[in-house]
Amino acid sequence: MGRLKQLLPVNNKPVILHCTDRIIASGIEDIIAVVRHDSEDLKNILNSLPVKVVLNRNPDSEMAESVRIGLHAVDKSITGVMVCLSDHPLVRTDTFKILIQAHEQEAEKILIPCFNGKRGHPILFPRDAIQAVFSGMNLREVIHANPQRVTLVHVTDDGVLFDMDTVEEYKDLLKRC
């Protein structure tokens, strides 16, 4: 993308704020943001929010490493961990709420939002299941190792599928907002 995609502007505010505003509006209170240690602008934005910022000092690491770092900061009483990606800015507030409600009913399940038969993000993991990342697994491996625990949560939110990794996807995002 040529620069940190979380800071790209959409309707006069950075992409990261589109994500965090919706997470906060859903009622989630224990929010951990894992950011690269050299992302001062991103840290400054997040530090103005009710978000705990933790640093990933290895910018070349895989997402599982950021998950491990974030898990160390999660309160021990939390029963579920929702992994939200900062390049999925179109996930609606009600989708977060639907996943939370599903977790309250099925706390042992790995909850994956599904739109028109396609799996998306964010994924809500029971705390004990996501702990497997400490044994070297990535999130996909955690899911594949626990097929009996996976529940697809059907949503009407195509934002769960929208990933902003390319300039073309960013341009598409600008058209959609």
How confident is the model at residue 158, as a pLDDT? 97
CA atoms of 17 and 176, how far apart (whole Å)? 16
Taking each helix axis as running N to C, give the angle between helix 15-25 and helix 40-47, from 0 to 180 degrees, rounded to the nearest 10: 30
Phi-psi region of 12 (alpha: psi -120 to 50; beta: other; left: phi over 0): left
In this prediction, residue 1 carries a pLDDT of 67
Residue 96, pLDDT score? 98
Domain that holds residue 154: 5-176
Q: Burial of 32 by CB count in 10 Å (0-12 exposed, 13-18 middle, 19+ buried)?
A: buried
- If one counts the domains in the chain, the total is 1
Average pLDDT of the chain, as a whole number: 94
Angle between helices 93-105 and 15-25 (to 10 degrees): 40
pLDDT score of 60: 83
Q: What is the pLDDT of residue 138?
A: 95
Per DSSP (E only), the strands in 49-173 are 52-56, 80-83, 110-115, 118-119, 123-126, 150-154
Residues of the chain with pLDDT under 70: 1
pTM value is 0.94
Which pLDDT score is estimated for 107? 97
Query: Could you tell me the CATH number of the domain that includes residue 156?
Result: 3.90.550.10
Report pLDDT digits (tens) over 29-50.
Answer: 999 999 988 889 999 999 999 9
d(CA 46, CA 49) in angstroms, rounded, equals 5
What the block records as the tokens of 168 is: 């073309």
Q: What's residue 59's pLDDT? A: 77
- In single-letter form, the type of residue at position 121 comes to H
As given in the structure block, the two tokens for residue 22 are 């919706």
